[in-house]
């Protein structure tokens, strides 16, 4: 017998690892609308298999919980079953010897808390409350309900122009979304069960490039109804687009010099080239939308009260364009610039010269990354992004963070702003930070930073860019009776209607807080439908594109094709688009990965296509 032996991974373990990996992807791709009770049971069964069997609560208790859940699912339970589940799980969480039992019980307690009504429904009727089966995960997760499998099939069939038409049925911004959509559609992509989500955004980017200029459809006969859209961002322009297609006369009021909202004044051109944005906006306006730029709405002639007199309906979608302050010493120093201000200037082509400057960017979201990468491109000698949590806690997309680092920026994690040091003339000379240590997970599920036992650090710099979020300026509307909540959010409902103000609608960032372009587009679409209804119409937006037949194929695992980027060393010197579109070959490979959930699985039963809305 050897005294010690090297641990060599068993073949068995490697197979198990493979299975675990597959199950993790499967969980990530779980379709929406699952029964929470059955899901809880399956998690318990999985957890139970991990028990070492030593301590009672874990060995016996987890199994007992599973049996109680089975009773509920089989319609043999009652309210006492739910109570017993809760009591038992609480004790297992309290008394199990290790995390295997504790966390299994905690998961059930979380489920019991979050889905209490479902458990009680099972207890009372033996059935589930949720029953809505979403056939198509990507479409279900797209706020604008874009027909994703449909347009991927069209791209694959060599019909990119039809793909654009199909997207426009739900979203007038196929180009914008091709460049900068956060693609929530990919989150639960069923392809993850095989390998990885389909690169939906990249396919759309290929489609818009390959399609070129696709003419807009004709508008419905004029209704003589006039609608004022306040705000020319993605939300407002989407509402204007669909309302104009429906035959209404729309006037868009935009406070800034140009239309586009955060697509222009928030997103730098290296991510979304201006000429492409301009072309897409021009295409939308070509329907006959009147746009008034450099017009601030809210006072005097353009007060909401007056607009309501002049127009049959008003849609408020002014976005979230004010900056948030750090509230630390030295914030008023020269050289402290808000992200909103920097990016707004860049949006209008005003590029400040950062040559030779040392820049500190404060924040960890996508806007912070936009500032970081813009600062690099503006010639900064050194750019540091200071973030108070860890890199993995950043809300920015990981590829944005990696891109920034590749372009030479440095990310200093666990660095909380303390003060800004200025010289006698009030110019920034340094950014002071308090080193942090990551701590316990808070109620929001994110680990909170706390002060580390370390001295403050001084980062010498010339410019501080503050990118810690945007606010909403809705005061003028609030003064005229529009209900506003915390942070200036306008309180509109799920139909974008404002209770008590018939004919006034609100949507987009102003109603949700700063969010994504696709959410803004979705709000514009919802507003258009409900404004049309308010005006007494039921204009339908209809798809009239024949769809390619699906082909039956094997589920051979295949890597996700990512579009190439320009080399970091080259792209960091300019604001030219940094991402390449797919080649024809790449597009074909990636389109081939789509499982066509519209035609297989539940889709072939309940229909994978919404022909009209």
Task: Select from 213, 301, 350, 554 the one that contacts other proteins (CB under 8 A).
Answer: 554
The b/e string for 13-23 (b: 16+ C-beta within 10 A; e otherwise) is eeeeeeeeeee
Alpha-carbon distance of 613 to 609, in angstroms, equals: 11
Least distance to other proteins, CB of residue 200, Å: 24
CB 284 within 8 A of CB 256: no
* Nearest distance, CB of residue 36 and other proteins, angstroms: 9
| Contact range with other proteins by CB under 8 A, out of 28-36, 312-320, 498-506, 582-590 | 28-36
Instruction: For residue 179, give the H/E element and its range.
Output: helix 174-180
Binding residues among 474-503 for other proteins as defined by CB under 8 A: none
Token pair, residue 193, equals 């069960």
Q: Residues 19, 555, 564, 576: which binds other proteins (CB under 8 A)?
A: 555
Of 30-38, 106-114, 180-188, 485-493: span binding other proteins (CB under 8 A): 30-38
Instruction: Select from 35, 229, 246, 336 the one that contacts other proteins (CB under 8 A).
Output: 35
Q: How far is the CB of 560 from other proteins (least distance, A)?
A: 21
Closest approach, Cβ 610 to other proteins, in A, equals: 15
Among 34, 79, 124, 542, binds other proteins (CB under 8 A): 34
Does 605 interact with other proteins (rule: CB under 8 A)? Answer: yes
Minimum separation from the CB atom of position 45 to other proteins (A): 13
Which part of the chain contacts other proteins (CB under 8 A), choosing from 31-39, 245-253, 347-355, 447-455? 31-39
Q: Locate tokens 């969980």: which residue?
A: 27
User: Closer CB to other proteins, residue 129 or residue 219?
Assistant: 129
Q: If binding is defined by CB under 8 A, does position 551 make contact with other proteins?
A: yes
Report the alpha-carbon angle 447-449-455, nearest 5: 155
Q: Which residue's CB is nearer to other proteins, number 353 or number 552? A: 552
- CB 275 to other proteins: min, Å: 42
Binding mask 67-96 for other proteins (x = CB under 8 A): ------x-----------------------
The single residue among 13, 15, 125, 286 that binds other proteins, judged by CB under 8 A, is: 125
Among the listed residues 49, 305, 442, 552, the single contact to other proteins using CB under 8 A? 552
Nearer to other proteins, 432 or 613 (CB): 613
Q: Is 355 helix (H, G, I), strand (E, B) or coil?
A: coil
Q: Which is nearer to other proteins, 142 or 599 (CB)?
A: 599
Using the rule CB under 8 A, is 609 a contact of other proteins?
A: no
Question: Least distance in Å: CB of 48 to other proteins?
Answer: 18
Tell me which H or E stretch contains 226.
Answer: strand 226-230
Q: How far is the CB of 416 from other proteins (least distance, A)?
A: 45
Pick 380 or 599: Cβ nearer other proteins = 599
| 580-to-5, 64, 179, 371, 566 alpha-carbon distances in Å | 51, 56, 10, 21, 7
The residue among 83 and 605 lying less far from other proteins, judged by its C-beta, is 605
Closest to 369 measured CA to CA, from 383, 356, 353, 349: 383
DSSP 87: H
Of 388, 368, 391, 468, nearest in space to 435 by CA: 388
Distances (CA, A) of 165 to 154, 204, 594: 10, 12, 20
Closest separation in Å from C-beta 346 to other proteins = 49
Helix residue spans in 474-583 (DSSP H)? 475-479, 509-512, 517-534, 568-571
CB of 552 to other proteins, least distance (A): 4
CA atoms within 13 A on the CB side of 47: 28
Say if CB 568 and CB 185 are below 8 A apart: no
What 3 state SS string does 453-473 have?
CCCCEEEECCEEEECCCEECC
What is the Cα–Cα distance from 485 to 286, expressed in whole angstroms?
36
Tokens at residue 429, please? 């000379």
Q: Is 536 in the site for other proteins (CB under 8 A)?
A: no
- Can you tell me the distance from the alpha carbon of 206 to that of 158, in angstroms, rounded to the nearest whole number? 11
| Cβ proximity to other proteins, 12 vs 553, nearer residue | 553
Distance CA 209, CA 347 (A): 23
Cα separation of 300 and 309, whole Å? Answer: 13
* Closer Cβ to other proteins, 240 or 246, answer by number: 246
CB of 592 to other proteins, least distance (A): 14
Q: How far is the CB of 557 from other proteins (least distance, A)?
A: 12
Which stretch in 18-26, 78-86, 123-131, 224-232 sits in contact with other proteins by CB under 8 A?
A: 123-131
Q: Tell me the C-alpha distance between 141 and 189, whole Å.
A: 9
* Contact region with other proteins (CB under 8 A), list: 121-129, 312-320, 370-378, 579-587: 121-129
Q: How many residues does the chain have?
A: 613
- 600 in contact with other proteins (CB under 8 A): yes
Q: Which two tokens stand for residue 236?
A: 């407002």
Taking CB under 8 A as the criterion, which residues in 263-292 touch other proteins? none
Given a contact cutoff of 8 angstroms between Cβ atoms, the answer to whether 157 and 548 are in contact is yes
Given 30, 81, 120, 133, the residue binding other proteins (CB under 8 A): 133
Do the Cβ atoms of 429 and 458 come closer than 8 Å? no
Query: Which region among 27-35, 312-320, 560-568, 574-582 touches other proteins (by CB under 8 A)?
Result: 27-35
Report the C-alpha gap between 170 and 307 in whole angstroms.
28
Count the residues of the shown chain that bind other proteins, applying the rule CB under 8 A.
Answer: 22
Binding-site member from 130, 193, 295, 568 for other proteins (CB under 8 A): 130
128 binds other proteins (CB under 8 A): yes
Token pair recorded at residue 115: 């889905």
Instruction: Answer yes or no whether residue 129 interacts with other proteins by CB under 8 A.
Output: no
Whole-angstrom Cα distance, residue 581 to residue 558?
Answer: 20
- Reported as half-sphere exposure (CB side, CA atoms, 13 A), residue 458 has a value of 6
**Segment near other proteins (CB under 8 A); pick from 130-138, 173-181, 434-442, 457-465:** 130-138
Establish if 134 lies at the interface with other proteins (CB under 8 A).
Answer: no
If DSSP codes are grouped into helix, strand and coil, which group holds residue 215? coil
Could you say which of 604, 609, 610, 613 contacts other proteins (CB under 8 A)?
604
Q: Which one, 128 or 527, has the nearer CB to other proteins?
A: 128
Binding residues for other proteins (CB under 8 A) = 33-35, 38, 73, 125, 127-128, 130-131, 133, 549, 551-556, 599-600, 604-605
């Amino acid at each position: 017998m050897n005294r010690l032996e090297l641990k060599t991974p068993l073949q068995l373990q490697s197979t198990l690892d493979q299975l675990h990996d597959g199950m993790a992807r499967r969980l990530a791709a779980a379709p929406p609308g699952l029964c929470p009770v059955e899901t809880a049971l399956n998690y318990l069964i999985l957890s139970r298999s991990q028990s070492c069997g030593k301590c009672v609560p874990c060995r016996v208790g987890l199994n007992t919980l599973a049996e109680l859940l089975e009773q509920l699912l089989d319609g043999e339970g009652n309210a006492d079953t739910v109570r017993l589940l809760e009591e038992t799980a609480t004790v297992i969480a309290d008394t199990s010897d290790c995390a295997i039992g504790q966390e299994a019980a905690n998961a059930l307690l979380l489920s019991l808390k979050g889905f209490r009504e479902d458990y009680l429904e099972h207890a009372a009727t033996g059935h589930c409350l949720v029953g809505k089966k979403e056939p198509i995960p990507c479409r279900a997760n797209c706020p604008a309900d874009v027909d994703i499998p449909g347009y991927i099939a069209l791209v694959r069939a060599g019909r990119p122009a039809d793909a654009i038409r199909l997207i426009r049925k739900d979203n007038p911004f196929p180009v914008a979304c091709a460049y900068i959509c956060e693609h929530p559609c990919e989150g639960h992509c069923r392809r993850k069960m095989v390998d990885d989500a389909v690169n939906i955004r990249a396919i759309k980017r290929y489609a818009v490039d390959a399609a070129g200029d696709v003419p807009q459809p004709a508008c419905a006969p004029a209704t003589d109804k006039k609608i004022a859209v306040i705000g020319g961002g993605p939300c407002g322009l989407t509402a204007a687009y669909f309302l104009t297609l429906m035959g209404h006369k729309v006037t868009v009021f935009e406070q800034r010099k140009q239309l586009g909202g955060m697509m222009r004044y928030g997103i730098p051109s290296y991510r979304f080239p201006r000429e492409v944005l301009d072309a897409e906006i021009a295409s939308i306006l070509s329907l006959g939308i009147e746009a008034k730029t450099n017009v601030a709405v809210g006072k005097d002639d353009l007060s909401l009260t007056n607009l309501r007199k002049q127009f049959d309906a008003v849609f408020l979608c002014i976005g979230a364009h004010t900056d948030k302050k750090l509230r630390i010493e030295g914030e008023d120093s020269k050289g402290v610039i808000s992200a909103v201000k920097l990016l707004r200037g860049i949006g209008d082509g005003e590029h400040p010269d950062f040559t030779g400057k040392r820049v500190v960017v404060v924040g960890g979201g996508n806007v912070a990354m936009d500032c970081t990468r813009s600062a690099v491109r503006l010639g900064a000698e050194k750019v540091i992004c200071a973030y108070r949590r860890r890199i993995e806690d950043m809300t920015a997309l990981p590829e944005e963070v990696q891109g920034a680092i590749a372009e030479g920026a440095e990310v200093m994690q666990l660095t909380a702003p303390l003060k800004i040091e200025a010289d006698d003339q009030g110019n920034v000379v340094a950014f002071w930070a308090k080193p942090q240590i990551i701590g316990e997970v808070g109620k929001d599920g994110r680990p909170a930073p706390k002060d580390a036992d370390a001295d403050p650090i001084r980062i010498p710099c010339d410019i501080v860019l503050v990118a810690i979020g945007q606010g909403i300026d809705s005061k003028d509307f609030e003064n005229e009776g529009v209900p506003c909540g915390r942070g200036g959010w306008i309180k509109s409902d799920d139909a974008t209607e404002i209770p008590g103000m018939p004919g006034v609608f609100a949507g987009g960032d102003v109603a949700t807080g700063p969010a994504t372009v696709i959410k803004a587009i979705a709000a514009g679409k919802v507003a258009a439908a409900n404004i049309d209804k308010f005006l007494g119409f039921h204009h339908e937006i209809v798809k009239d594109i024949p769809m390619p037949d699906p082909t039956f194929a094997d589920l051979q695992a295949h890597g996700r094709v990512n579009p190439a980027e320009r080399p970091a060393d080259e792209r960091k010197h300019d604001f030219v688009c940094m991402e390449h579109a797919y080649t024809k070959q790449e597009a074909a490979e990636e389109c081939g990965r789509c499982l066509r959930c519209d035609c297989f699985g539940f889709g072939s039963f309940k229909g994978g296509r919404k022909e009209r809305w």
